[in-house]
Chain A
Amino acid sequence: MKPIFSLAVFLILATALHGQSILAGRVLTGKTEPAVGANLYIKGTFDGTSTDADGQFHLPYLPGDSLTLVVSYIGFQQLEKQIPTGQDSLWLEFRLKPQASELQQVVISAGAFEASDEKKAVLLKPIDIVTTAGSNGNIVAALNTLPGTQSNAEDGRIFVRGGDAHETQTFIDGLRVPNPYSSNVPDLPVRGRFSPFLFKGTSFSTGGYSAAYGDALSSALVLQTKDLPEASVTSLSMMTIGAGVSHTERWENSALSAGVDYTNLGPYTRLVPQNIDWEDPVTAQGAQVGFRQKLNNGALLKAQANAQWSGFSMRYPLPDNPTEQSLLRLQNDNYYGSATYHQLINEVWQLDAGLAAGYDSERIDQHFLVDRSNAMVQGRAVAIRYFENDWALKLGTEWIHSGFDEHYQDTESDIQSAFQEDYISAFAETEGYLGEKVALRAGLRAERYNLLDANRVSPRLSLACKAGQGGQFALAYGHFYQAPQQDWLRFTQNLSPERADHYLVNYQYRKGGRTIRAELYHKEYRNLVQFPAGTPWLAENSGEGYARGLDLFYRDRVSIPNGDFWVSYSYLDTERQYEDFPVAATPDFAAKHNLSVVYKHWVQELQTSLGVTYTLGSPRPYDDPNTPRFNDRRTPTFQDLSLNLSYLTELFGHFTIVHASVSNVLGFEQSFGERFGNQPDANGRFTSTAIRPPAPRFFFVGVFVSIGEGSTFSN
């Protein structure tokens, strides 16, 4: 027994006495910055050490056959290093690379503004849209504070980079929305139809957008609805202009929501001075239902439907002689429903499919009567294949059928026009990384315009390249087609799609809560609809134009404690010859300079968020038919300063927001040119009336109560 015991002791001692070796060295982040408290350890053992304040370390170890040293540090990529055997001491120096987290990764950025809760590398969060002063819950108004847009307050729609409002298409969960704006008459601003609370993500592209979207010359606004809501909740809203109630019920794997709202501007317009002579101010009723179901295979089914009925009557300038007014009545019914299906089939394939239908009818009654209706059905399917090397391939197809019907009647004429349109498209797009520094997205889109009997293929390309820590350059290029507006198609279908080519160069730099972004663009229009013969019945695709400019954006969330602001500036140089333009000219919706400053401040002690939005638009041209030159008149400079305040509190134990806002606080004189009659009077002159906002100021007070768990609101 004895000898064996001594042998064991000897074995143990031998291991212990065997000369210990020393690993020493330094861990750096970047070139000279020491990594303090980095973790170093020998793989498979518990032996290790941490670096000191100079990034230095000493690690005694027992040399074995093959040892691997692991270096780990928060925010940096983990390193492993093979230690050569048979050396007593080693000096090692490690330079760590930052973790390829979303924030530092190179991303496709040209033309795109994204707001998302899920992704980190975005410039905005959905809450930023809701809290922008002057927007009053209107997504479109908030987006109009971003660069590349125009502050055309008399219109309300989105005008992107010298493009007409119809050149922006809106998509919800990939499906096109035919009537994204509320119905109105010219010179009265419209609103977006959809509540910002419906969406978890917004991607607003001002050019060079993905091949997944089409039939839009200038811009794609892509909205993503929320998945399963977090909890059951009932929401009540009481506003100076109406009220609403909605409820969301959440079960384990499904949720159902339903709501109704009522708007009536009557009491408000009687209290606050108006520029408009209302007979029956705007009233609207809305109803929404939504359904979410998580299926056993992990797929998510989403369905929603909205209905909106609105109308008003007011005294409105007569088309022939705008200095005289007569009663105008407008009634609009709008229905939209969609269902989408999202499934990760396996680790490499994803499927997204959707169906939507919509119907919109509008009746305008003055000395004439217009009955207009739009019906739409569409289907879309997209399959995505993910590859191991971070590349993805998207394949998709969609079909949109729409029908247009219009009946115009006055004392002299009775015109009926109708047409059916089929738009079919397919696209393939690949996106991924070429090494660590370059991201690429390349796609091809094929489109069939059945009514126009035209086929088009458009390439889309977007490239981003990392330039130092936090900086990146990006490029985008693409061809974009769009069917002529229904306003012209109802006269003649002997037309072809309009075309725009986009060229974008972008630089973006972000560091710790600050982002600066500059984008240069050039857009070339061709085949625009034009009426050289003076009448839309003889329209042809001979129009052309260009838009070029510079967009600047600066966002800062850190310089002012509890404050957050962004500044957008857009310079635009554009001319086009289209529609009834006798010569190439800057259109009346295009201002050379646009500036927006959005500031938000959170006052912790008062639980209040304050917001200020300042908007400036340089003079825009408009045409006076009494002068020989086209578009030679200029509107005054447009300025607006809006304020809002949200006070977060409790009402009978329920989360409550009291929201108040006012537009044009400083009382800037706002005017948008003149509206001229379409016939000269007895003296051969065209009479006119000034275009002004509906009221010098807009006040809004609302109380929103959320009954349920947490601080969410029901849709």
Chain B
Amino acid sequence: MRALMFLFCTALSISTFAQSDRYAGAMEKAVGELQAAEQTRDFSTPANTFERITAAAPEGEWLPAYYQSYCHIMQAVGAMQQGKPDQITAFLEKAQGALDKAKEISPENPEILALQGYIYTGHIWADPMGNGPMYSPQSVAAYQTAIEAGPDHPRAYHLMGMHLFYMPAMYGGGPERAMPYLEKAAERFESYEPASPMHPAWGGYFNKQLLEQAAAKLEKE
């Protein structure tokens, strides 16, 4: 009887252990796919993997939905580079759906708030003249909220800098206005320690590139 009890307990712990272990394993694999995609620029594989994990994630885990949203935003970037405005909107709508899930789990999360600004910025790519006046102030406001929620996080500064860098000067953008944000982002990319290897760590390399481009442009002027 005792032996049976023990067996039962072991089996139970194995199965719970297995469940959380499986989640950790799946996330590790998915983050690996994401890192690979950052090189190949094809985000469809990690997008699908994160979507699966989001659908079955243990309660309280915001990372899968966050990464799913991030992958769809990257797919929207791809669509923009290929000049397919309709696809940009479709990807961003899916990104928004995933981000809404993440927000529900972790409402005041600076990483999630920053990504919200990224989605708004993305809508401008689909139709700069038509969507710019409406979405630009929304994305700037989202980055500011994200900065307030987590002043030591680098990504909201980075995205704000990126948004301003690509925005024409007459609309209130340009390298000069982007510079302070990119610099602050650079400092934070140096100092900021992600809570775990699974937590968001993207953006540092691109920030460096933008910083160089912005400096070069300012020197020209």
* Residues of A that sit less than 8 Å from B by CB: 3-4, 7-8, 11-12, 37, 39, 41, 43-48, 50, 70, 72, 74-75, 101, 117, 125, 127, 230-231, 512-513, 602, 607, 609, 648-650, 655-656, 709-712
Contact = CB atoms under 8 A, between A and B. Distances in A.
Interface in B74-118: 75, 85-87, 90-91, 93-94
A74 B7 CA distance: 46
B48 A39 contact: yes
A64 B26 CA distance: 20
A655 B94 contact: no
B130 A41 contact: no
A607 B52 contact: no
B172 A11 contact: no
A100 to B, nearest CB: 13
Contacts of A7: 7
A46 B23 contact: yes
B171 A8 contact: no
Q: Which 4 A-B pairs have the closest CB atoms?
A: A230-B137, A39-B48, A46-B26, A650-B170
Contacts of B11: 8, 11
Contacts of A50: 44-45, 48
A81 to B, nearest CB: 15
B195 interface: no
Given A43-B55, A75-B90, A712-B133, A48 B48 contact: yes
A4 B6 contact: yes
B140 interface: yes
Contacts of A101: 90, 93
Contact of B55 (A3, A4, A41): A41
Contact of B91 (A44, A48, A70, A74): A74
Contact of A72 (B7, B23, B51, B130): B51
A70 B138 contact: no
Nearest to B129: A127
B36 interface: no
Contacts of A45: 52, 56
B140 A710 contact: yes
B3 interface: yes
How many B residues are at the interface, by size bracket? Answer: 35 or more
Contacts of B87: 74
Interface string B1-26: 00100110011001000000011001
Nearest to A70: B55
Given A45-B56, A50-B48, A710 B7 contact: no
A55 to B, nearest CB: 13
Contact of A711 (B51, B93, B138, B172): B172
B7 A655 contact: no
A656 B170 contact: yes
Contact of B52 (A3, A41, A710): A41
Nearest to B131: A117
A117 B124 CA distance: 13
Contact of A47 (B47, B52, B90, B93): B52
B91 A231 contact: no
Given A39-B51, A649-B170, A710 B44 contact: no
Contact of A607 (B6, B47, B85, B170): B170
B216 interface: no
Contacts of A39: 47-48, 51-52
A358 to B, nearest CB: 30
A74 B90 contact: yes
B122 interface: no
Nearest to B83: A561
A58 to B, nearest CB: 14
